[in-house]
Amino acid sequence: MQTPGHAVLNLALLSGGASSALVLPIVAGAVAPDVPIVVLYLREKYLRGLPDERIWSESYQRPFWLNLIHGAHSIPLTLLGALVFWALGLPALAAFFASALLHALGDLPVHAQDAHRHFLPFSHYRFISPLSYWDVRHHARIVALVEALLVIGAAGVLGSGASAVGRTVLAAVAAWYLVNYWKNFLR
Ligand SMILES: [Zn+2]
């Protein structure tokens, strides 16, 4: 899934309305698993000047980055974090890890060849899904459309209870999804 979509869907599923005090930790937890990917991309593109193709086929495949990215998408580790902080009575940290866990569960069915090792550190198993949110060889046109509609729908629901700033951000994410879909699949 696209990173902004995780933030919107996780908020809709976990916050019980965008006015909740847990909005920030939920958004942070929804985005956190993809932060290493963003850092890798910006570093390779703007510090080293590599073209996108080489970033994904070479830099992304290095063990250091794969371990970091896959570790951040670990179902057992994020579940453990959510349970430990919930038991300790720290709802913001529990919400952060619950949101990261939901991110991993959202990615699981829509990554094909680029599947993460979601069961680290216990197993290196990768579920190669028949579906992909970006790869047209794996029905990405339909998968990305379903993702876009879910995110736009969730943004609409959240927007009805949100502040003006919140509504603006949600509208921006919805617009970004529409533009991206057009750029990636229709143009
Ligand atoms: Zn991810």
Determine the pLDDT at residue 113.
Answer: 93
Distance 164 CA to ligand 1 centre (A): 28
In the reported structure, the alpha carbon of residue 108 is separated from the centroid of ligand 1 by a whole-number distance in angstroms of 9
**What is the whole-number distance in angstroms between the Cα of residue 66 and the centre of ligand 1?**
12
Structure confidence at residue 162 (pLDDT): 87
Encode pLDDT of 10-39 as tens digits: 999 998 754 578 999 999 999 999 999 999
Looking at residue 178, what is its pLDDT?
97
Question: Cα of 3 to ligand 1 centre, how many Å?
Answer: 7
Distance between start and end Cα atoms, the chain: 20
How far does the centroid of ligand 1 lie from the alpha carbon of residue 130, in Å? 17
Half-sphere exposure at residue 84, Cβ-oriented, CA atoms within 13 angstroms: 9
pLDDT for position 21: 85
- Share the mean pLDDT of the chain: 95
Q: How far is the CA of 34 from the centre of ligand 1 (A)?
A: 5
CA of 102 to the centre of ligand 1 (A): 10
Domain interval for residue 81: 3-186
- Percent of the chain past pLDDT 70, that is, above it, reads 98
CA of 68 to the centre of ligand 1 (A): 12
Residue type, 18: A
3-state secondary structure the chain: CCHHHHHHHHHHHHCCCCCCCCHHHHHHHHHHHHHHHHHHHHHHHHHCCCCHHHHHHCHHHCHHHHHHHHHHCCHHHHHHHHHHHHHCCCHHHHHHHHHHHHHHHHHHHHCCCCCCCCCCCCCCCCCCCCCCCCCHHHCHHHHHHHHHHHHHHHHHHHHCCCCHHHHHHHHHHHHHHHHHHHHHHHC
Tell me what pLDDT residue 68 has: 96
* Number of domains the chain contains: 1
What percent of the chain shows pLDDT beyond 90?
Answer: 94
Tens of pLDDT, residue by residue over 119-165, are 999 999 999 999 999 999 999 999 999 999 999 999 999 998 888 99
- pLDDT score recorded for residue 59: 95
88 CA → ligand 1 middle, Å: 27
